[in-house]
Structure 1
Amino acid sequence: MENNIFFLVPFAAVTAMAFAFYFFKKMMLESEGTGTMKKIAQYVREGAMSYLKQQYKVVSLIFVVLALLFSVMAYFGLQNTWVPFAFLTGGFFSGLAGFFGMKTATYASSRTANAASKSLNQGLQIAFRSGAVMGLVVVGLALFDISAWYFVLDYFVEEIEPGHKLVIITTTMLTFGMGASTQALFARVGGGIYTKAADVGADLVGKIEAGIPEDDPRNPATIADNVGDNVGDVAGMGADLYESYCGSILATAALGASAFLLNPALQEKAVLAPMLVAAVGVFLSLIGIFLVKTREGANMKQLMAALNLGVNISSLLTAMAAFAILYLIGLPNWIGISFAVVTGLFAGVIIGQTAEYYTSHSYRPTQKVAESAVTGPATVIISGLGLGMISTAIPVMTIAAAIILSYLCAIQFDVANMLRAENLSMGLYGIGFAAVGMLSTLGITLATDAYGPIADNAGGNAEMSGLGEEVRKRTDALDALGNTTAATGKGFSIGSAALTALALLASYIEEVKIGLIRIGHNTLVFASGESFDTQKAGFADFMTYYQVTLMNPKVLIGMFLGSMMAFVFCGLTMNAVGRAAQKMVEEVRRQFREIAGIMDGTGLPDYARCVEISTKSAQKAMLFPSLLAIIVPVATGVVFGVSGVMGLLVGGLSSGFVLAIFMANAGGAWDNAKKYVEAGHLGGKGSDVHKACVVGDTVGDPFKDTSGPSLNILIKLMSMVSIVMAGLTVTWSLF
């Protein structure tokens, strides 16, 4: 191991967590405001922690069962003996990242509201740097986990033959991604159901029926709504992007180990390269974080420009640093691989800007959705659906361009021999680096995403505490910005999921190879009668051996199943939100009807009952769709074998990616159309146009905050499950 180079990775991990702690302590020194503001923040904090504690109990039981299953598989030689431990650590660190982020967010909201009473810039600074805690904790814990496992496996894994050791190490490390993915899916689905059940209940009864503001303290569901912003959009999102970040780095490292299998001198450099690029991205993200600030009275475009300045500077510096890093470590074709990194960075920026254009009420698409509300809720729904569908075009074309450009950069534009064995391996390595590039500035890009729910909670705290109109105007501006940054963050995370899942698809073949060798299948015998050494076989050889072609019915069946999974998963989570929201609506109506004095402020709503309804509904409803994502890849492998699994992953990736973009952008547009009207346009708050937009926002809530963002975890989790269960798939399948 080239220890002197590799130590940059754990050093970056420590630096990220040190700055996260610094931003947290600095935020805690700020005033939390009045006694009422403190009391409301405490309600939200206790509700969020109570929910997370209950969720971790449920998820822990599932993790224990899965770890035991992997242990049994390892005992029978179907699995690497390190997998159960790697699986558990991946889940633990993913959950820990979400916990730290949510703890920070629940302390930051009241402080953001109080700072906004002084100036818009102070409110932005506290909210954004508190969001940066989430970003830095995610990258810090991820790089720490990767560093620790690399050291451990490098020490314990014995040298089998030149080059094979690093293949074993990297594919074993990939399996802790399944732990992270599993934890992330439960966090996203459970948190998404929780927050949207409360949000829909608060909107439908509070805003439309009772005619009171969104975060009015008279609304029984308002505390549950604010709790939900934290458990879904902070804890769930942190676990989600922790898994994406690790997956992109480890999949690329595994592809590097495979591409340079016959050249051990270069192989280690190829494995370390994605880790080093990610490590340097931590330091450059910090520069961007310190650049974010704005002036008093800034409009939406100026606020967005303030955030974009930090993100774009970090991205530019990371692109430049990639060339220096890959040159200094002596990676072959370092210029081409560096341009693959740049391709990923630019793709992330384009997808983010596209999401901003389609979801910000500063631009015409969302304004048109608001204008369609003049004729009622039905036209709002139609307009939002149409916008969401159209908005998929640019992200899909961007990802397609990123795939082909990063592939060609890695093979030095040898178009005539694109699919030659050595070019195929290097091209896939380039695609992996595009995913690493897109996520290399996660420290700041995640900060812009986590900022959103903090700003939203700050607005709720300001409303419930009765702060002045000027303060509410500032928190509304920060909240509207947060809706847009959340939409751009979702687009960014979905785009990175697509590239990461593609790299994982290639890594699956590596795990198939290892699974065959583990069971003693050392020779591939093709249908033509030719035979080939399994150890030396490449991607194209395995595609031929397993007949992975569009004419193979097993592949076609897998593709249909993968596409179906995206829609069934969304249907299950949407229905779960609907059922939970129905209970919430009934409870809020009951309280308005039975608790005397709520509307005149002399009676106190039963906030705890609404929190309890959301918690129980989320815990119950998250299990089936989450477990389905684990069961289907295993069942597909057992029935249709490797070719069926390849079809499943391709179908899930293509359908899931487009569907996720559609849902995120449609939901974001509906939300900001409502904000546009609330800002005084088209009749303002309380008008018929506003009520129609509230209906659109209610439909969009589970789109953008439950089903949509969960899809990118679904497509990666199915890949991770397939990788971990590859040993079983190659050992036995029905067809």
Structure 2
Amino acid sequence: MNAIYFVIIGSLSALVFAFLMYLRIKKQPQGSSEMIRISDAIRKGANAYLKRQYSGVALFFGIIFCILLIMASGGYLSFFTPFAFLTGGFFSGLSGFIGMRTATMANNRTAEGASKSLNKGLRVAFSAGSVMGFTVVGLGLLDLSIWYLILNAAFHNLPESQRITEVTSNMLTFGMGASSMALFARVGGGIFTKAADVGADLVGKVEVGIPEDDPRNPAVIADNVGDNVGDVAGMGADLYESYVGSIVATAALAVAAGYGLKGVSVPLLLAALGVIASIIGTFFVKTKEGASQKNLLKALRTGTYISAGIIVVASYFIIKLLLPEQMGLYIAVLSGLVAGVLIGAITEYFTSDTYKPTKRLADSSETGPATIIISGLSLGMLSTVAPVVIVGISILVSFFSTGGADNFNVGLYGIGLSAVGMLATLGITLATDAYGPIADNAGGIAEMTHMDSSVRERTDALDSLGNTTAATGKGFAIGSAALTALALIASYVDKIHQINPDLKLDLTLTNPKVLVGLLIGGMLPFLFAALTMDAVGRAAQSIVLEVRRQFKNIVGIMEGKAEPDYAACVDMCTRSAQKLMIAPALIAVIVPIVIGLLMGPEGVSGLLAGTTITGFVLAVMMANAGGAWDNAKKYIEQGAHSGKGSSQHKAAVVGDTVGDPFKDTSGPSINILIKLTSMVSIVFASLVLAYHLL
């Protein structure tokens, strides 16, 4: 129990630090009245979108809550599960909302800071990103702590081994609420932001030939709103879900491994110490005027690496104190940390215009849009090799270093710890990710208010870096999702054995139920990606038609004498996103239940394995291809291949347009799909065991 109080301290430290960063941003100068007006328009659009989204999601949560309550009254679930589901969703949504509110407050302040110096712009944007990062980890640990205390008190009459089993199995279920909210936020926000982005680029930049974020473009406000609802609010909910999912899955595996309360305490303490390490790391993020992309990356990496170094030292003493005879667990934590760093470096290599892959992608624009799309797909596919190898090595090292060869459950606990190690420094990692959309918004405000060209150059440098850090953050989240998913699959099998200890599961590939489950699971990420890509395409078509209509019908719009109807595009994106996000979000909940009722736990086990394998690879491919297309376009805009307005630039814009839903809608949503299917399977395990057909 002493460990949980330290976790509470870590949680409160993160939230206090986030609040201090918020106050710091609020004190920064906002710029001209025109900058404030545009920032207010973006904020109002983002608030309106989230209000409508949360209203729709509340209906979904109400229905699922009632279903879980009925199952609990029938003895299929614990009475705590429906309420844990609600709190998981609430805190996941709240973390995204706070991050979005901060980002929309910081965009004009970042533009004003960039008018003074590159470092000033970086510090404002990074501080705003820090609010997001530390809100996510703070609320995540707070939710965990509250439920730990409630459940420990509720089962205080049981012997310690039984009490810990009840506590961890119930805590595991609130991850379903977090995952559900994250999926709606990521998919809905991703559809909104990419529909607006694609519509604005195709008509404004390609057809009409005006610059990005030109105030004459009717979709420009919707595009900037989308950066906040998709890349900030959606991402915050997404990584909240990854963070708490890895911790609770590992805590649950500690019981099966025989480590009891001390084993449960290890991932909780690692997460709490990660908060302190991340706070320290933020003070080392700074740069100088005229910094190159390498210098800017180094500034952000310095803070991240210092945080990781602190965890390397601190985790040794945690393991030494709690489980001194199991120092192989320390190797597991290190393998996760190293894997996270390496995946970040590989992602950076494939998506940053500092390195050859993205430069070669830009070269392919010489022969038009077709070749840049072919080259981008090739780059994305090639980029999957290293992350798969890295995660595979991390799994093997974690499993065998902890004694998995002798005790399978101990090895699985080691894999779970490696996922926790990878996400331990999420506070600062997410800060480096979340600052990108803020810099992007700042560039838009600078363009729309006709600030000095040097300001746009600085915000573009920060934005280009943001594309790389965002791609790195997505790779990081996807890699951790693969490790967490393995822990969740193990938790699912363990849950089945808890319900029916006498059941003998045949999980071999020769079992047709497992094989069919694998095939359906392998298909599921492709079905999900198809639905989300199609949703972006359909929503973007309506925006393209609306932007064309306004250019044609509003007299004086191109001369700057008439103002476009920005609100029409914002409203159109909002309605499209709310409607089109339903189908892809529901399949993650419905498919595992249907497969379970048809083919039982063996079919579900195959489904989860198949979804994890293809989902991991597909998500990496899409995220990296999209990031590379985006930075290839920016590389050309900086002067390569005849620069802006050239045929090469137009080809790169088409490539970037294809890559938008890859990197910001489908790709980052797949890692949530992987974990949500596992969480749903765990929650409905009792029902599946009672009523499956085969």
Name the TM tier (shorter chain). over 0.9
- State the distance in 2 between where 1:332 and 1:595 align: 75
1:307-706 to structure 2, matched below 5 A, reads 307-333=300-326, 335-411=327-403, 418-420=404-406, 423-516=407-500, 523-524=502-503, 545-706=504-665
TM-superposition CA deviations, 1:61-111 (whole Å, max 9, x none): 000100100011111111111100000000000000000000000001110
Alpha-carbon shift at residue 316 of structure 1 (Å)? 1.1
The one-letter code of the counterpart of 1:623 is I
- State the distance in 2 between where 1:661 and 1:275 align: 28
Alpha-carbon shift at residue 6 of structure 1 (Å)? 2.4
- State the distance in 2 between where 1:514 and 1:129 align: 46
1:88-167 to structure 2, matched below 5 A, reads 88-161=86-159, 163-167=161-165
Pairing 1:267–2:260 present: yes
Alpha-carbon shift at residue 162 of structure 1 (Å)? 5.0
Pairing 1:78–2:99 present: no
Pairing 1:729–2:688 present: yes
- State the distance in 2 between where 1:719 and 1:48 align: 31
TM-superposition CA deviations, 1:667-715 (whole Å, max 9, x none): 0000000000000110000000000000000000000000000000000
Alpha-carbon shift at residue 429 of structure 1 (Å)? 0.5
Matched-pair contact (CA < 8 Å) for 1:171–1:510: no
TM-superposition CA deviations, 1:117-139 (whole Å, max 9, x none): 00000000010111010000000
- State the distance in 2 between where 1:408 and 1:546 align: 24
Partner of 1:708: 667
- State the distance in 1 between where 2:566 and 2:461 align: 27
The one-letter code of the counterpart of 1:285 is S
Partner of 1:529: none
- State the distance in 2 between where 1:340 and 1:293 align: 32
The one-letter code of the counterpart of 2:298 is A
Alpha-carbon shift at residue 270 of structure 1 (Å)? 0.5
TM-superposition CA deviations, 1:134-192 (whole Å, max 9, x none): 00000000000000000000000254455122111101101000000000000000000
The one-letter code of the counterpart of 1:441 is T
The one-letter code of the counterpart of 1:83 is T
Partner of 2:249: 251
Matched-pair contact (CA < 8 Å) for 1:78–1:515: no
Alpha-carbon shift at residue 523 of structure 1 (Å)? 3.6
1:9-28 to structure 2, matched below 5 A, reads 9-28=7-26
- State the distance in 2 between where 1:128 and 1:403 align: 33
TM-superposition CA deviations, 1:442-500 (whole Å, max 9, x none): 00000011011011101111101100111111011001001111010100010011101
- State the distance in 2 between where 1:232 and 1:557 align: 35
TM-superposition CA deviations, 1:234-255 (whole Å, max 9, x none): 0000000001100101001000
| Structure 1 unmatched ranges of 5 or more | 261-265, 412-417, 517-521, 525-544
- State the distance in 1 between where 2:386 and 2:18 align: 34
TM-superposition CA deviations, 1:179-229 (whole Å, max 9, x none): 000000000000000000000000000000110011000000000000000
- State the distance in 2 between where 1:332 and 1:720 align: 32
- State the distance in 2 between where 1:648 and 1:96 align: 31
The one-letter code of the counterpart of 2:75 is G
The one-letter code of the counterpart of 1:387 is L
Matched-pair contact (CA < 8 Å) for 1:598–1:605: yes
Partner of 1:289: 282
- State the distance in 1 between where 2:384 and 2:217 align: 36
- State the distance in 2 between where 1:616 and 1:74 align: 35
Partner of 1:201: 199
Partner of 2:62: 64
Partner of 1:280: 273
The secondary structure found in structure 1 opposite 2:640 is coil
Alpha-carbon shift at residue 327 of structure 1 (Å)? 1.2
Q: 1:188 aligns with which of 182, 186, 189?
A: 186
Partner of 1:536: none
Matched-pair contact (CA < 8 Å) for 1:73–1:79: yes
The one-letter code of the counterpart of 1:273 is V
Change in Cα spacing, 1:515 to 1:463, as seen in structure 2 (3 Å) is same
Moved over 6 A (4+): none
Matched-pair contact (CA < 8 Å) for 1:269–1:331: no
* Count of equivalent residues: 694
Aligned-pair RMSD on alpha carbons?
Answer: 0.9
Matched-pair contact (CA < 8 Å) for 1:52–1:231: yes
- State the distance in 2 between where 1:590 and 1:109 align: 29
The secondary structure found in structure 1 opposite 2:283 is helix
Matched-pair contact (CA < 8 Å) for 1:87–1:178: yes
- State the distance in 2 between where 1:151 and 1:161 align: 16
The one-letter code of the counterpart of 2:389 is M
The one-letter code of the counterpart of 2:151 is L
| Structure 2 unmatched ranges of 5 or more | none
- State the distance in 2 between where 1:723 and 1:359 align: 36
The secondary structure found in structure 2 opposite 1:293 is coil
- State the distance in 1 between where 2:173 and 2:324 align: 26
The one-letter code of the counterpart of 2:178 is A
Alpha-carbon shift at residue 331 of structure 1 (Å)? 4.7
Partner of 1:303: 296
TM-superposition CA deviations, 1:590-636 (whole Å, max 9, x none): 00000011101000000000001100000000011101110000001
The one-letter code of the counterpart of 2:474 is K
- State the distance in 1 between where 2:240 and 2:597 align: 30
The one-letter code of the counterpart of 1:622 is M
Alpha-carbon shift at residue 509 of structure 1 (Å)? 1.6
Change in Cα spacing, 1:331 to 1:54, as seen in structure 2 (3 Å) is farther
Q: TM-score, normalised by structure 2?
A: 0.99
Alpha-carbon shift at residue 11 of structure 1 (Å)? 0.4
- State the distance in 2 between where 1:377 and 1:655 align: 28
- State the distance in 2 between where 1:162 and 1:12 align: 25
- State the distance in 2 between where 1:493 and 1:57 align: 27
- State the distance in 2 between where 1:616 and 1:332 align: 57
